[in-house]
Structures are given as structure tokens and as C-alpha cells.
Amino acid sequence: MSSTNVTEALILDSVARLGDLARKHARQNDLDQRYSDELWDAVKESGLALMCIPESQGGAGVSLELFCKATEVLASADCSTATLVHLQGNNAYFLRYCEDTQRAEAVMREGVEKQWLTAYSLTEPGAGSDAQGITATATPEGDGYRLNGIKCFSSWASQADAVFVMARIVGLPPREAISCFLVRPPQPGFTISRKEIKLGLRAAPLCEIVLDNLWVPKADCLGERGLFKATMKGLDYSRIGIAAMSVGLAQGALDYALGYVLDRKVFGKAVADFQGAQFKLADMATTVEAARQLTMHAARMADSGQPFTKLASMAKFYASDVAMQVTTDAVQLLGGHGYTAEHPVERMMRDAKGIQIFEGANELQRDLVFRYMRREVG
């Protein structure tokens, strides 16, 4: 076995063990609407947060394809844990594309040394899918910047060791002004003003942040001339990871539903003996596999350095739509039992709705795909 295969096997074994622990906590975390300290510590200790950081900076430097395999395994067990690990990969890819490589590398080394779990704050009340609409400001002042504004829907910001905050540098041209600032809570001027009560992914905190004259030194500005292109490039990678998360969530629901219908008896025979259930499960399995193949194709294209933005959007919207459909079908197959918290499929269905929306709603992804199609035909 090659060293690459050994490394992959070790990582996936670590992922599987974390997934087993996450599965045990998932129901209670969802009911409590909080992420358990034991599981948070386990994610840190697993080292999976370092998967996508280059080896030169102390990480594992895995391929996007392997990262997607890991994300899929975690999501099949607990989607909230998958969002946490996925976010670390997303932030690592963002740092890779920062033009100021020295600062980005310094941040990665600090994160590895201190075992950071990081968050990312892009969205604002008036700037969701249209990231160019950001209004939070970073005003140059002496050896740093003063940040002011309100950010919303910032996943994990209330627990993270470091938060990447996007704001518009005052004085730069509008299309170049958006940059990223590293914040290490707690800091004066950085306040978690609200945690959202959500339909799904309830254990993963989604936060509103108030920036009130928050002081950030120049060393923690990752792009003094703006970083919007790097942000968009990082989102391309992130969308493929979201697709892998969707595949894992759908696979988890499919596996649970299949086990249930094989054991459950009605009218004197197993539910699995009814053709309606058989056809539904066959359709579910087929769409999950189609989503998986599209996702992995997009990941391999990215790994090989070929254009992949269109594929990333395709994978994100298709796989998350599959997750929504498959989890809904799983609830239906379980009947009344599927509607209760006794079984995980109702939680999976609620989680799937969130994935259709975040990291660029699926309507936006379809629009991006069409733009590329129009461009390709001239």
C-alpha cells in the first residue's frame, strides 16, 4: 500500500471514530440546541480541522477529493459536526488564495500551533447571496483598522477561537475594498448579539455579530488592497464540500430508512416486501449515487487545476436538492415514527433544508450555472 493510501486510510479511520461519537450526541445536541463540550474537544483532538492546511504550514494538505470523502462520512452521522469540520476546510482554502501569502501562512501556522477552530463572517442583513453588498466598514487608523457594522448568519462564531470577518476598507475603490480581518474573541468591540433559533442544524450556532469600533492591527488584515476574488475562489471550494455534506446526509437517511423497512412489519409482512417501498428506495439510492459522482468529479477537477466553478455550483444545488428529497422520503417511509424525534430522519430532513440555502442559495447556483452556459456558447 502506498504512503498516500496509508494516509487516506488513517484519516478516514479518524473520521469514522469521530462520526461514531457525533452520532451518539446528535439527538441530545439537537434537542438542547447546543454543541456538547465533549464533542467540541473531540473535533479539536482529532486533528481533522487541519486537513486542508498545507503540510508546509503544519497541516495534512489533503486533496479536496479526500476532504469530501471525510465530510460525507461525518454528515451521514451528524450534519452539525460536518458543518464544523467543513468550515475549517473552507477557511483553509480561503487562506490559500490570499494575495499576501506571508500573512496567510502566518495565520495558518498560528492556527495549527494553537489548535484553532475558526469561523467565517461574510453575510449581513442586507448582503446575503450578493456579497458585493457588504456595508461593514474598516477605517484605517494608525497601525490598524476600526471595524463597524453588523454581521449575521455567522456559523460557529460564538464558540470559535478565531473569526474571519469581511468588511469594506474605507478609501479603496468599491469593487476592490472588501477584505478580511482576523478577530480573536473575546475582544472589545466584538459582540455576539444573538444566536438564531433555527429549523435545523440546531447544534451549530448561527450568530449575529455587532462590530463597534473593533480595533484590528494591520498584521491581522489579510488583504490591504481587498480580497474579494480570494473570497469567491474559496467559496467555489466550499460549495463542493457542501455537496459532499449533502451526499453524506442523504446516505445516512437512506441507510436508516432501509434498515427500518427491512425490519418493520405491517399487515403480516415486512414493509420492504411492498413494491412501493422498493421503488422509492431504489430511486433514493440512485439519486444519492448520482450526486456523489458529480461531487467527486468536481473535486477531482479542482485538484487537477482545471476550471471547476460551474461544476461546484452544479454539485452544490443538485446534491443538496437530493438531500432534501431523500430525507423527506425517509421520513415518509417510516410513517408516523419518522415524524418523531425517536428516529434521526426528521432531524436529517430539517438539516437538509438549511444546506439548500446556505453558501449561496440553490437559486443562485442555478443562475451561476446558466451564466457559464451562456458564456460557453459565445
Question: Which residues are the active-site residues?
Answer: 359
Look at the block and give the residue holding cell 450556532.
Answer: 205
Q: Single out the residue of 332, 342, 314, 191 nearest to residue 257, CA to CA.
A: 332
- 137-141 and 162-169 as β-strands: parallel, antiparallel, unpaired? parallel
Q: How many CB atoms lie within 10 A of CB 235?
A: 21
- HSE on the CB side for 275, CA within 13 Å? 0
Q: Single out the residue of 177, 168, 169 nearest to residue 135, CA to CA.
A: 168
Give the integer Cα–Cα distance in Å for 129 and 141.
30
3-state secondary structure of 358: coil
Strands (E), the chain: 118-121, 137-141, 144-155, 162-169, 178-183, 190-195, 206-217, 265-266, 269-270
Rounded to 5 degrees, φ, ψ at 144 are -170, -150
Q: Single out the residue of 60, 70, 7, 82 nearest to residue 299, CA to CA.
A: 70
Give the C-alpha distances (Å, rounded to integers) separating 174 from 30, 81, 122, 124, 362: 41, 36, 16, 17, 27
Give the integer Cα–Cα distance in Å for 122 and 17.
32
Read out DSSP for 69-137?
A: HHHHHHHHH-HHHHHHHHHHHHHHHHHHT-S-HHHHHHHHHHHHHHT--EEEE--BTTBSS-GGG---E
Cβ partners under 8 Å of residue 272, min gap 6? 258, 261, 262, 278, 281
- State the sign of the Cα–Cα–Cα–Cα dihedral 252, 258, 259, 260: positive
